[in-house]
């Protein structure tokens, strides 16, 4: 039975809190909550971060242009470039921070380069000072990809307040089934309202029920319904009211969520420090929002450890063993030479993402870490 997973789950206590919030009266639901974190900005809710990105690219006239994109990022973004007929120019990763290597950008700039997608990989902030210097020097629009960075801070400002526009994915942190939002920081940018609205579907309800901790305890064999949807094309749409209410209830306190995740990640570090496991080098002057706890393993051990952890009831992730530069769609559309991205390839073969949910106890972290260490010792295979 899987006891620990990288997916957010909901406890009865959380549910009670969310349920109560439904009756408190939210005024302009969502916008009020977000303006606390991004004063002076405007917002828009969408069904997913990837559709938010499509909507931004179309609204600000980037179609047909070149966009700088991390080579080490999820394959789901392939549809963004194909749908908007933009040309992604991939930038290899930094092996320590796992973020895009900003030092490679000058040699990739052409007269058609119009924008940069700056993703904070696993919540670790990109070097914002350097990013903004590049933006000014080459006159680029910055789309900040905060899909992993909800609640993270650089200096005293929240991640998502530095780009012209920023995209977020809420369901990765909270059990909201789906949902993302856009933060528009540049007052000269106009983003069209999204016309299409989504209805609540049986698959939404099934996925909501599936996110309950209790369901897994009562029915340990249950399989999630509707997850396959994430790998098909998704229309740009506003989330339905139920999802939007779930999102705004959870967004009320992103700071305490971030701090709980942070202290658990320190425990992971303490347990794993005397081993052959490598950690992500975190940006200084920042508060990282830990989506999961990423570690680098020797590539020849990674899949063996991933499967061994399942046997121990721990479902890790391997983000991104199938990074965007491996995507067949991308290779076909843009004739990509994978050899140009050796660091992204290395990370995709070495990365293991350990589960990290705010309700874990010290004992939970110790259990995951000690099983990981056992599986990494040579005689465990
Ligand atoms: C870095 C990054 N950006 C964007 C996305 C897209 O997020 P969503 O699933 O909300 O479309 C993902 C995940 O799929 C991601 O990992």
- Which among 291, 298, 218 is positioned nearest to 258, based on CA atoms? 291
Tell me which DSSP letter residue 93 carries.
Answer: B
Q: What pLDDT is recorded for position 7?
A: 83
Evaluate whether 84 touches 275 at the Cβ level (below 8 Å): no
pLDDT at 214: 76
Nearest CA to ligand 1 atom 3: 147
Q: Give me the tens of pLDDT residue by residue for the chain, a chain 381 residues long.
A: 778 888 888 877 777 777 777 666 554 566 678 999 999 999 999 999 999 999 999 999 999 999 999 999 999 999 999 999 999 999 999 999 999 999 999 999 999 999 999 999 999 999 999 999 999 999 999 999 999 999 999 999 999 999 999 999 999 999 999 999 999 999 999 999 999 999 998 888 888 888 887 777 777 666 554 444 444 568 999 999 889 888 988 898 899 999 999 999 999 999 999 898 999 999 999 999 999 999 999 999 999 999 999 999 999 999 999 999 999 999 999 999 999 999 999 999 999 999 999 989 999 999 999 999 999 987 655
Which residues are within 8 A (CB) of 338 and not within 5 positions of it... i.e. 6 or more apart?
A: 325, 326, 345
User: Do residues 101 and 340 touch, judged by C-beta distance below 8 A?
Assistant: no
Cα of 257 vs centre of ligand 1, distance in Å, is: 20
Residue 226 CA, ligand 1 centroid: distance in Å:
17
Q: CA-based Rg of the chain, rounded to a whole angstrom?
A: 20
Residue 296 CA to ligand 1 centre (angstroms): 21
Query: Atom 7 (ligand 1): residue with closest C-alpha?
Result: 49
Q: Look at residue 348 in the predicted model and tell me its pLDDT.
A: 98
Q: Which atom of ligand 1 is nearest to the CA of 51?
A: 11
Residue whose CA is at the smallest distance from ligand 1 atom 16 = 74
Tell me, which fold does domain 4-380 have in CATH? Answer: 3.40.640
Sequence-separated contacts (24+) of 244-247 with Cβ below 8 Å: 244/29, 244/30, 244/45, 244/179, 245/21, 245/22, 245/26, 245/29, 246/18, 246/174, 246/175, 246/176, 246/177, 246/179, 246/208, 247/30, 247/45, 247/170, 247/174, 247/176, 247/179, 247/181
β 278-279/42-46 pair status:
unpaired
Best of 77, 149, 236 for a ligand 1 pocket test (most atoms within 8 Å of beta carbon): 77
Residue 92: count of CB within 10 angstroms of its CB:
22
Tracing tokens 């508060």 back to the chain, one arrives at: 287
Backbone angles phi, psi at 349, to 5 degrees: -95, -15
Report strand pairing: 165-169 vs 113-119.
Answer: unpaired
Helical H runs in 149-280?
202-210, 213-218, 241-250, 254-272
Residue 162 CA to ligand 1 centre (angstroms): 19
- Tell me how far CA of residue 133 lies from CA of 139, 242, 350, in angstroms: 10, 41, 32
């Amino acid at each position: 039975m899987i006891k620990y997973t990288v997916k957010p789950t909901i406890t009865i206590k959380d549910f009670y809190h969310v349920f109560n919030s439904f009756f408190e009266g939210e005024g302009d639901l969502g916008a009020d909550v977000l303006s606390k974190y991004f004063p002076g900005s405007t917002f828009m809710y969408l069904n997913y971060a990837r559709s938010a990105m499509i909507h931004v690219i179309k609204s600000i006239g980037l179609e047909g242009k070149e966009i700088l994109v991390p080579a080490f990022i999820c394959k789901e973004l392939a549809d963004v470039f194909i749908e908007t007929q933009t040309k992604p120019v991939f930038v290899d990763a930094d092996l320590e921070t796992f973020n895009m290597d900003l030092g490679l950008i000058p040699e990739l700039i052409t007269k058609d380069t119009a924008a940069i997608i700056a993703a904070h990989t696993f919540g670790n902030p990109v070097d914002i000072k350097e990013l903004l210097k590049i933006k000014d020097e080459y006159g680029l629009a910055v789309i900040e990809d905060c899909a992993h960075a909800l609640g993270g801070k650089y200096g005293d400002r929240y991640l998502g307040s530095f780009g012209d526009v920023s995209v977020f994915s809420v369901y990765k942190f909270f059990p909201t089934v789906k949902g993302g939002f856009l933060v528009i920081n540049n007052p000269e940018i106009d983003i069209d309202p999204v016309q299409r609205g989504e209805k609540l579907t049986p698959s939404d309800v099934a996925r909501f029920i599936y996110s309950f901790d209790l369901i897994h305890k009562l029915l340990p064999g249950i399989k999630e319904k509707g997850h396959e949807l994430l790998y098909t094309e998704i229309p740009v749409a506003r989330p339905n009211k139920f999802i939007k209410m779930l999102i705004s209830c959870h967004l009320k306190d992103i700071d305490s969520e971030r701090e709980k995740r942070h202290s658990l990640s320190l425990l992971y570090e303490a347990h794993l420090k005397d081993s052959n496991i490598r950690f992500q080098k975190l940006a200084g002057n920042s508060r990282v929002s830990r989506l999961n706890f990423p570690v680098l393993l020797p590539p020849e051990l990674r899949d063996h450890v991933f499967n061994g952890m399942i046997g121990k009831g721990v479902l890790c992730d391997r983000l991104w063993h199938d990074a965007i530069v491996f995507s067949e769609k991308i290779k076909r559309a843009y004739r990509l030479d994978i050899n140009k991205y050796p660091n992204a390839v290395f990370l995709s073969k070495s990365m293991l993402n350990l589960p990290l949910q705010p309700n874990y106890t010290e004992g939970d972290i110790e259990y995951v870490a000690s099983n990981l260490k056992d599986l990494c010792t040579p005689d465990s295979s």
